[in-house]
Amino acid sequence: MKKMKLIYNPVAGDGTFKLYFDQLFRILQEHDIVVEPFRTFNKGDAEQAVEEIDESYDGVIAVGGDGTVSEAACGLLKSKMDIPLGIIPWGTINDLAHFLNIPKDLSECCQIIINNKRKPVDMGVVNGHFYFINVVSAGFLTDVAYKTRPDFKNIFGRFAYYVKGLEGLPNLKPIKLKVLSEGRSVFEGESYLIVVLNSSSAGGFYRLAPRAVLDDGKLDVIILKACPTPELISTSIKVLKGEHLKDRNIVYFQTHDLKILGNYELPSDVDGEMGPFLPLEIGVKPRALKIFVP
């Protein structure tokens, strides 16, 4: 039999995963997979639990949103365990699962793990020791994920993020940034937002970086320049349609080495959690993790 560590966030999404334990155990046990459950209580629990597993495990299954998935992935990277990660998306947004075409249906997710098809994916690293699997950002909207109350997200889903973002519009202020890619200056000036992506989506915006590939050794960078409100609205509509990369208020490029300099009191967001303050040095660990995929 195979043994896998099951990391689950009990308050992710609608908080109902606990009702499906028996179904998950039955499906996997019928295919000779035994799971050892671990319930998270606080930030960092999932990462620590994964770091503590040993060679007797054949995989890790993360049940929750992007934060739980990110912690499990970071734990695997830090532990240097060459075992795959399974994802059962139970969160509000589930950007990475959406990009990988992993469905929300529990039975289908179990079948993906049973089928044992694995995809190598890149991992990003910030300032040498903050790892991420999907996104790093700074500026407007970047704190929405961890400032939105879990109960509000459970009731309104992705719409809760949009409401929280609209609340912040009256306080919208540009930030001064200098951005270097592979040692060359690519942007210097005022902006509202910088997003560094491994997949194509963040915060439920699924076409932010339509050219993104998870295993190409590159990150996709999008900078929203400071601009008048009418132009900001026009650019935002293009973002929703995935037609923004050529907009004059957008700077877009791909890179494997990035530095972001600016206001040292400005925090970053790393996979939906508060990250380090600027400056940031961001790199890539190519094909550092394997994920079960359809």
Taking only the tens place, the pLDDT of each residue in 70-88 is 999 999 999 988 999 999 9
Residues 168 and 275 in one domain: yes
276 and 170, same domain (yes or no): yes
Last residue of a domain, one of 84, 116, 148: 116
What is the extent of the structural domain holding 209?
A: 130-286
Query: Does 172 share its domain with 270?
Result: yes
**pTM, entire model:** 0.88
Distances (CA, A) of 228 to 165, 169, 191, 234: 18, 13, 12, 10
Average pLDDT, the chain: 89
Q: The domain spanning residue 266 has which CATH number?
A: 2.60.200.40
Closest CA to 61 of 31, 30, 38: 38
Mark whether 142 and 226 lie in a shared domain: yes
Domain boundary among 94, 116, 138: 116
Q: What is the CATH number of the domain that holds 94?
A: 3.40.50.10330
125 assigned to some structural domain: no
Domain check: are 62 and 169 in the same one?
no
As annotated, the active-site residues are 273
Tens digits of pLDDT across the chain (294 residues): 999 999 999 988 888 999 999 999 999 999 999 999 999 999 899 999 999 999 899 999 999 999 999 999 999 999 988 999 999 999 888 999 999 999 999 999 999 999 999 999 999 999 998 999 999 999 876 555 555 555 545 544 554 455 455 555 556 788 899 999 999 999 999 999 999 999 998 877 888 999 999 999 999 999 999 999 889 889 988 988 889 999 999 999 999 999 999 877 888 999 988 899 999 999 999 999 999 999
The residues pairing with 277 across neighbouring beta strands, listed in sequence order, are 267
> How many domains in the chain?
2
Q: What's the length of the chain?
A: 294
- Both 76 and 138 in one domain: the answer is no
One domain, residues 195 and 102: no
Residue 162 lies in a domain: yes
